[in-house]
Structure 1
Amino acid sequence: MRIVFVCLGNICRSPAAEGVMRKLAPHLTLDSAGTGGWHVGDAPYGPMQEAAHTRGYDLSGLRARQFTRRDFENFDLIVAMDRQNKADIERLRPKGNATPVQCLADNDVPDPYYTRDFDGALAMIERAAKRLLADISRRQDL
């Protein structure tokens, strides 16, 4: 299964989700992207990398990229970090494409770039990633 995680700038939440899921499910093909292009080519935000490292996740090799229409073809599942990102992704959906787009958690994952709560965002991402993995496993068992 190929999954892309998407947030606004691809320097905090979505690379963190990619890093968490890489550790939980190394057998999956994973990526992350941002709906905006301001940080293309940048490493994840330093404070997010530090918080992730403390929890055992290495984000240092990841680089920001912008989500594109082609991602609908390249991935089996698109996971947004919040409802606004989900709406922005849906606006790019090619006509006739049925790739599922869903939010990672029941509630929006707050952007720690603004809230400064990197540990809180990571804790929420970890819980939601475990639920997502359980859902994927259950679907594949059907």
Structure 2
Amino acid sequence: MKQDNKVKVLFVCMGNICRSPTADAVFKHQVKAAGLDKHIYVDSAGTHAYHIDESPDERAQKAALKRGYNMQGLRARAVQLNDFEEFHYILAMDKNNLAILQDRCPQQYSHKLGLLMSYSSQWDRYQEVADPYYGGSHGFELVLDLVEDANQGLLRHIIEGSTEKRNQGR
């Protein structure tokens, strides 16, 4: 990890009330469990301003809480232009939101954009985290399954990347 400041990760979905706050809460939990919360900053946002300042969807919160993830302090916000400069990883939940981010992103920061599921090690058949908003509780459980795995891969990637940089400095 960077010595001078934190690695910053932004999870993005459409409204920032289901998938991206779930990824946010899960990753914060994983980062803290790894003892890296002083080195990694986590946030989430939406490509659309539908739910600004709202809490995450109650169904998402309920599913997350069953697995020990607390989403209470999270509030929806929209992606801002300065996020592209500020964050090191800007990870969309699906291809539609990735395309929106690619359209908005200044060219010099486009290398920061990607799909969260590209870090998954167990869910090869899923390239995206589907929006559970209009479905039943199973969708929220699947979001958690996908996000838990992909976030572990992301955390490994961040740790390995920082180790490589330290080794190159020797």
Say yes or no: TM over 0.5. Answer: yes
Aligned partner of 2:94 among 60, 68, 82? 82
For 1:35 and 1:98, the matched residues in 2 are separated by: 16
Distance 1:49 1:25 in 2: 19
Structure-2 change in CA distance of 1:15 and 1:76 (3 Å) = same
> Which protein is richer in helix relative to its size?
2
Structure 2 counterpart of 1:69? 81
- TM superposition score normalised by structure 1: 0.95
8 Å contact kept, 1:78–1:99: no
Is it true that 1:131 corresponds to 2:143 in the alignment? Answer: no
1:110 matches 2:122: no
How many pairs does the alignment contain?
A: 142
User: Are 1:100 and 2:120 matched, yes or no?
Assistant: no
Q: Within the alignment, does 1:140 sit opposite 2:162 as a pair?
A: yes
In the alignment, the residues of structure 1 paired with residue 108 and residue 86 of structure 2 have an alpha-carbon distance, to the nearest angstrom, of 15
Larger radius of gyration: 2
Matches within 5 A, 1:16-55: 16-26=22-32, 27=37, 28-55=40-67
Normalising by structure 2, report the TM-score: 0.80
Are the aligned partners of 1:75 and 1:99 in contact in 2 as well (CA < 8 Å)?
Answer: no
SS of corresponding position for 1:6 = strand
- Percent identity, aligned pairs only, is 38
Q: Which structure 1 segments of 5+ residues have no match?
A: none
- 2:102 touches 2:110 (CA, 8 Å); kept in 1? no
Shift of 1:98: 4.6
